Structure 1
Amino acid sequence: MNLYERFENAFMPNYGVPPLALARGEGTTVWDLDGRPYLDFIGGIAVDSLGHAHPALVEAVSKQVATIAHTSNLFLHEPEVLLAEKLLELLKEPAKVFFANSGTEANEAAYKLSLKYGRATGRSYFVATENGFHGRTIGALSLTGKKAIRDQFGPFPVEVRFVPYGDADALAQAVTEECVAVFLEPTQGEAGVVPPPDGYFKAAREICTSAGALLVADEIQSAIGRTGHWFAHQADGVVPDILTLAKGLGGGLPIGACVGFGFAGTLFEKGDHGSTFGGNPVSCAAALAVLDNVDLDHVNRAAELLWSGLEGVRHPLLKGVRGRGLWLALVLNEPVSVKVQQAAQNAGFLVNALQPDAVRLAPPLVVTAEEIRSLVAALPSILTEASHG
């Protein structure tokens, strides 16, 4: 029995059986069980910030796990304090941090934090965006505007009003003095790496401030250098009330964070929230290694090269490119993203069929110019194979 069959026999069927089994990785290259290499242009869904087996990450995790791997939240440890301090240094705003294990848990913390505010101020409903994605636990799923994954698990504990993403007028109409909070992604990730119109996030800040609602920036995918800034909201000159982080923060180790700015950082009282594993020493050590080794200048140079290369590709199947930084989507003229993903894999590249007409690219932030040029050069033949497949 091969590994795929063993997987199918042992696991619940919610993932199906993944099409490829990976054995190891180094830098931006991974190898399958047969020893075939692939250039990784999805990076564990924007997680592997430093690529695979980065020496600094290996050293930090190995050293920490050999020192103390777990304390629970009954005791504090230095790596969690160092990491919180580092995040606050990069955010450059007064704030306080809560560590979790994942993006959905970070959004659960933001959801509960907002509920405390709403109940203290007599507010009754939330606003989020159509096709937005904030996680799959019940609280986070309440705020997720994707009917296919949401509707079968209702009813939900609070009222959430969904508005079209990028429509500032619709947002202004939806946010009243009864609104608790607005949950927004600076760029919608799972919807297809969809950036909003210029000025949208700043307008959202003004709308929330005027109505007294909290602005929650879900940066699970967009932060930690992915868009060329430490945090995507910084490019808009906007400070949210609550920020959520995960994915790229741990570089492959599970960690999430909920950051409350100003008064929002003091809403939780002792016992209001917690996590046994959240902020454990090993994940914090990994995150510190990530923050010490992400080079924003390199990210921006690589992003410029990738964008210019992809925009120079002419093919009947390729409609265009959208996104920010090293986080973008190839937009197709036909709903054949799965065929593009398979054709790319056949050519030795890992990409992600995100939507029927959109293929996500989110390579490790250490991707090289040579690796970018190799994908760009191979893309026309990949698209041709997908067109004829």
Structure 2
Amino acid sequence: MPLPNDEAQSSADALSALSVLPGSALTSTALTERYKSALLGVFGTPQRVLVRGSGSHVWDADGRQYLDLLGGIAVNTLGHAHPLLSSVITSQLATLGHVSNFFTSPAQITLAEQLLKISGAPGGSKVFFTNSGTEANEAALKLSRRNRGTADKPRTKVIALENAFHGRSLGALSLTWKQAYREPFEPLPGNVQWIPAGDIDALRAAVDETVQAVFIEPIQGEAGVRELDVDYLRAARAITHEAGALLIFDEVQTGMGRTGQYFASAPIVPDVMTLAKGLGGGFPIGAMITFGHQTSDLLNPGDHGTTFGGNPVATAAALATIHVIDKDNLLTHVADTGQWLTEQLRAISGITAVRGRGLLVAFDLEKPIAAQLVSAALDAGFIVNTTGPHTVRLAPPLIITREQLATFIAKLPALIGQGLMTYKEN
């Protein structure tokens, strides 16, 4: 099929022409079959084929509408097809798309300055850009290996927390707790020791002069949105500082306004922070921030690199995302809306616990019907996901309204009932 003339056809026409094989119907069934024959099956069969989005809603190939309460797993900060974000990405791509890191661009420099500002980083702090959270954590792990101690007192160990999730590449996977993720790919890099999350005594006992770094998610998202309290984070800061170990906060899922403040770990200042997901509002970008001269000097020219990281389009997208967060006062909106959401969830029969901060929320069900509820919700027009048999996670766009969330709250008792019926039948 020839490519369309840009002046004669809309961008939607162009996308359609590029994505549909001759003679194929643009239906969910046909596209799912094409998916299964062409893509590696690591994600299983897609739940739906999505073709369009606007605000907090998406539509599938059969024209059905869904309220997106997952936001691409905490990625779509500004929802779908946000006009400013779309305009900035398009304009930047039409001006300068990719240059490699032999060069820089105004967008890259400005975004680094913005991240240092909003993170409260002291003088000497720096930013390294990546394409994802996994890559940001890989960079942080690699940097931590340079905190090697001395010849007579070498540092060789990294501490991570039970139930942690830091990514699925080999380095990031070595920090990830879940046995099912790790075991098929062992032996993994590193000398990693896991300790119970939130236990200050366990942390104090584990961190000594042999430890290079401690990795902490302020809220463990994949574990079911389990928050570590500020006293624990303060203790981690004091303990690592005393031992000479790096304190590394993984804010990949919790950063960029998700919790009602830019970073869930604030006001605690780590040695390293990793970001991704919501940073680009849906455009792939990650970042590692190193705090202060001493940490920033651990990596030298040639020690690490990336081809695409910090490219002009990705950094422009992140700048647009930060601009909208500030301009539309989304941090206050997220804090207020998240509090309202948790209050509504706690009042629903069949829900035994609600956890979270801002618009990163999980609720536990009395029976292990989370998978059944996710399926029933999808059929009813709501996208949510499960982090365990009893637990459902919500991470909607930060622009979502109470009115939109109320439609889910109103349907949730019936969805729980459907889940129970399916569970009993099986």
Q: Same fold (TM over 0.5)?
A: yes
> For residue 29 of structure 1, what is the aligned residue in structure 2?
57
Q: CA deviation at 1:305?
A: 1.7
- 1:355 corresponds to: 388
1:126 aligns to 2:130 (yes or no): no
Q: Deviations over 1:240-270 (max 9, x none)?
A: 1000000000111110000100121221100
Judge conservation of contact 1:29–1:37 (CA < 8 Å) in 2: yes
- Counterpart in the other structure of 2:22: none
Q: TM-score, normalised by structure 1?
A: 0.97
Q: Please, which of 104, 108, 111 is the counterpart of residue 138 of structure 2?
A: 108
Q: What is the aligned counterpart of 2:222 among 177, 190, 214? A: 190
Listed one character per residue, the Cα deviations across residues 106-140 of structure 1 (whole Å, up to 9, x for unaligned) are: 00110111111125672010000111010111111
Deviations 1:284-303 (A, max 9, x none): 11100110111211111211
2:255 to 209, 213, 223: 223
Q: 1:211 aligns with which of 243, 254, 266?
A: 243
- Look at both structures and tell me which one has the larger radius of gyration over its CA atoms: 2
State the alpha-carbon separation in 1 of the partners of residues 243 and 316 from structure 2. Answer: 40
SS at structure 2 position matched to 1:216: strand
Of 332, 336, 339, which aligns to 1:297? 332
Unaligned runs of 5+ in 2: 1-28
| Aligned equivalents of 1:169, 1:347: Cα separation in 2 | 46
The CA RMSD measured in Å over matched residues stands at: 1.2
SS at match of 2:309: coil
Supply the AA of the counterpart residue of 2:142.
K
Rounded to whole Å, the distance in 2 between the matches of 1:148 and 1:323 is 25
Paired residues for 1:1-389 under 5 Å? 2-94=30-122, 95-118=125-148, 122-234=154-266, 237-262=267-292, 263-294=294-325, 295-313=330-348, 315-316=349-350, 318-389=351-422
Counterpart of 2:36 in 1: which secondary structure? Answer: helix
Number of residue pairs matched by the alignment: 385
Asked if the contact 2:147–2:245 (Cα under 8 Å) also holds between the matched residues in 1, the reply is no
Question: How far 1:5 sits from its partner (Å)?
Answer: 1.3
The question of whether the paired residues in 2 share the 8 Å contact of 1:125 and 1:180 is answered with: yes
C-alpha contact 1:96 1:266 (8 A) present in aligned 2: no
What is the CA distance between 1:157 and its match in structure 2?
A: 2.5
Distance 1:198 1:110 in 2: 22
* Distance in 2 of aligned mates of 1:93 and 1:141: 28
Partners of 1:293 and 1:265 in 2: CA distance: 29
Shift of 1:76: 0.7
Deviations 1:159-204 (A, max 9, x none): 1000111111111111111000000100101111111245111111
2:120 maps to a residue whose letter is: K
Q: Could you tell me how far apart the structure 1 residues matched to 2:165 and 2:273 are?
A: 15
State the Cα distance separating 1:382 from its structure 2 match.
1.0
TM-score with structure 2 length normalisation? 0.88
Distance 2:283 2:388 in 1: 26
Decide whether aligned partners of structure 1 residues 277 and 119 sit closer, same or farther in structure 2, where only a CA change above 3 A counts.
Answer: farther
Q: Distance in 2 between matches of 1:181 and 1:286?
A: 31
Measure, in 1, the Cα distance between the counterparts of 2:300 and 2:115: 22
- SS of 1:23's partner is strand
Q: Is the 8 A contact 1:214 1:241 kept in 2?
A: yes
Deviation of 1:307 (Å): 1.5
Separation in structure 2 between the aligned mates of residue 69 and residue 349 of structure 1, nearest angstrom: 35
Which secondary structure does the structure 2 equivalent of 1:232 belong to? coil
TM-aligned CA deviation for residue 36 of structure 1: 0.8
- Report SS of the residue matched to 2:160: strand
Q: What percent identity do the matched residue pairs reach?
A: 49
Q: Tell me the alpha carbon deviations over residues 281-325 of structure 1, each in whole angstroms, 9 at most, x when there is no partner.
A: 111111001101112111112112211211222x23x11211111
Q: Tell me, in whole angstroms, the C-alpha distance in 2 between the residues paired with 1:13 and 1:335.
A: 26
User: What is the CA–CA distance in structure 2 between the aligned matches of 1:203 and 1:377, rounded to whole Å?
Assistant: 41
- Unaligned segments of structure 1, at least 5 residues: none
Q: Is the 8 A contact 1:305 1:372 kept in 2?
A: no
Q: Report the secondary structure of 2:99's partner residue.
A: coil
CA 1:336–1:160 in 2, change beyond 3 Å: closer, same or farther? same
Report how far residue 338 of structure 1 moved: 0.9
- CA distance, structure 1, for counterparts of residue 342 and residue 217 of structure 2: 22
Separation in structure 1 between the aligned mates of residue 368 and residue 342 of structure 2, nearest angstrom: 22
Query: How far, CA to CA, are the matches of 1:185 and 1:153 in structure 2?
Result: 23
For 2:91 and 2:230, locate their aligned partners in 1 and report how far apart those are by CA, in whole Å.
Answer: 44
